[in-house]
Amino acid sequence: MSNAIADAVKSDDALYDELYDVRSEAVELGNLVEVDPFGLIEAARERGPVQEGYLREVLGVPFWHRHRSVIETEKGRRKGFTVLSFAEAEAAFRDNARLSNRIYHMNPTDDRMLGILEMDNPEHFAHRKAAQSLFIKPRAVGMWRDRWINDIVNAIAENLGTKSRAELNMELCARVPVHTISAAVGLRGDDALIFRKALIASMGTRKGPQAQMEAMATVSRMSMEQIEIRRKTPGDDIISWLIAAEVDIPDEGKRQLSDAEIVTFCRLLLLAGGGTSWRQMGILLFALLDDRERWEAVRSDRKLLEPAVQESMRWNPNNPVFSRLAIADTEIGGVAIPEGSVVDICLAAANRDPLRWDNPGEFDIHRPAKPHIGFGLGAHMCLGRNVAESEMVVAVNALMDHFPDMRIDPDMPAPFITGGIEQRGISALHVVLK
């Protein structure tokens, strides 16, 4: 690990507070909810597994939607539907022919600016294949840990070892994912936070369109700088891999990725890799520390740690809802979905479906293994899930090794899960380390 990364993971940079406060993030986005959504979700599911109306309409909370620019048309708002059960959510995720990811389209004027999140097959399959082998489990527990994750976690643990108390959301959870994915792309030290700040602002900001355009320009400039460096001097990083990769798309034949496509790829990897893992790591640690018996059980038998990671994704996924655009008439759970409608697939509801799990609202590290959809499902299942799982496993192992008696700080505000319906995370996680 470079000195720049080591210094950055230990620094008191104010950007951590600015970028990784879950509640402030929701306030900035305008989607904060002050109630626990699961009571509303359970009541809604009792009315039916598939219902007309967007998720927030079904739950009865103020309207907000990640894809508002798509759902609001000149003719009015598109019809919305919400899926709340596991079986119907699974069916919706697998219906790639009629339920399209094009709702995530970032730049409707240029298909070459699409990333894999927005693509449908065959383009999606071809582009995903170009990077897939970088994220398979053997590499996530081998290459990723050896080159980046282990050193980053060890540096953070060493820094925590100088203290008696800590706030783990900022001092651990925010740092491991962003520096892992940034180092894997080729960004070093403070550039990781500078890039992430611009990346978030490029998605939309209350500071207005000029600030958004400036942020987009920063993202493009910093990405292109890395691409130019790697074209001249390839290394062991994601950009070098993407430069050498080929895509094979029907009617196009084999070709290499364009610079614009690599920028879009990196944008997605840095947005997801530096964001979702952070929230989920906090949720996992909160669940383990909230019940001393859970912490001690996992600390005594580390084979329980990977099941605990999976249970955290089932119990409280940090991205509780994904959406799809119906590009043809279809049906889910006996409910007709007209072409042009938007379907909100509620992972949080599906993962607590009582028809699939006993006592679904409980976090149970001994729960019999059964697939969940916390990382999505089907063709668009999270590309980086194995890396995210590795980050959480390495981080929790390090905490248990260095601070076996770690506990929630009784002198600080009690932690709780907060955010919007659309993104969840821990408020703060103050702990006594020793």
Check if the beta carbon of residue 321 is closer than 8 Å to that of residue 57: no
Helix axes 191-202, 259-273, angle to 10 degrees: 100
Dump pLDDT digits (tens) for 269-308: 888 887 788 999 999 999 999 999 999 999 999 999 999 9
Q: What span, in angstroms and rounded, lies between the C-alpha atoms of 94 and 86?
A: 12
Residue 195 has pLDDT above 90, yes or no: no
Percentage of the chain exceeding pLDDT 70 = 92
DSSP conformation class of 379: G
Question: Which is more confident, 209 or 369?
Answer: 369
Residue 336 has pLDDT above 50, yes or no: yes
Number of residues that this document lists for the chain? 434
Q: What are the backbone dihedrals phi and psi of residue 60, each rounded to the nearest 5 degrees, phi first?
A: 80, 30
Element (H, E) at 4: helix 3-10
How much is the pTM? Answer: 0.92
Query: Which amino acid makes up residue 290?
Result: D
Query: Which residue do the tokens 């989920």 mark?
Result: 280
Reported confidence tier of residue 19, pLDDT bands at 50, 70, 90: confident
Residue 107 has a pLDDT of 43
Calculate mean pLDDT across residues 363-375.
95
Dump pLDDT digits (tens) for 296-306: 999 999 999 99
Q: What span, in angstroms and rounded, lies between the C-alpha atoms of 12 and 428?
A: 16
Which string of DSSP letters, residue by residue, matches 274-292?
A: TTHHHHHHHHHHHHHHTSH
Pairing of the two strands 335-337 and 246-249: unpaired
Check if the beta carbon of residue 276 is closer than 8 Å to that of residue 223: no
Residues 6+ apart with CB under 8 A from 330: 95, 98, 99, 336, 337
Q: Cα–Cα distances in Å, from 221 out to 260, 270, 312?
A: 11, 15, 37
Structure-block tokens of residue 346:
């509620």
Q: Determine which of 158-162, 170-174, 381-385, 399-403 has the lowest per-residue pLDDT on average.
A: 381-385
Residue 7 has a pLDDT of 67
Residue 171 has pLDDT above 90, yes or no: yes
Which string of DSSP letters, residue by residue, matches 234-253?
A: --SSHHHHHHH-EEEETTTE
Q: Determine which of 220-229, 311-320, 325-334 has the lowest per-residue pLDDT on average.
A: 220-229
Q: Which residues of 38-54 are buried (b: 16+ CB within 10 A; e: fewer)?
A: bebbeebbeebbbbeeb
Query: Which residue do the tokens 């491991």 mark?
Result: 176
CA neighbor of 126 nearest in space, from 32, 301, 251:
251
Reported confidence tier of residue 110, pLDDT bands at 50, 70, 90: very low
Provide the mean pLDDT of the chain: 89
Q: What span, in angstroms and rounded, lies between the C-alpha atoms of 259 and 9?
A: 29
Check if the beta carbon of residue 410 is closer than 8 Å to that of residue 292: no
Maximum distance among all Cα pairs of the chain, rounded to whole angstroms: 64
Q: What are the backbone dihedrals phi and psi of residue 322, each rounded to the nearest 5 degrees, phi first?
A: -120, 155
Q: Cα–Cα distances in Å, from 349 out to 33, 40, 316, 425?
A: 16, 10, 10, 16
Structure-block tokens of residue 200:
């978030």
Please, is 325 exposed, middle or buried when counting C-beta atoms within 10 Å of its C-beta (0-12, 13-18, 19+)? buried
Residue 120 has pLDDT above 80, yes or no: no
Calculate mean pLDDT across residues 26-33.
91
Residue 139 has a pLDDT of 79
Residues 6+ apart with CB under 8 A from 158: none
Q: What span, in angstroms and rounded, lies between the C-alpha atoms of 96 and 3?
A: 45
Residue 207 has pLDDT above 80, yes or no: no
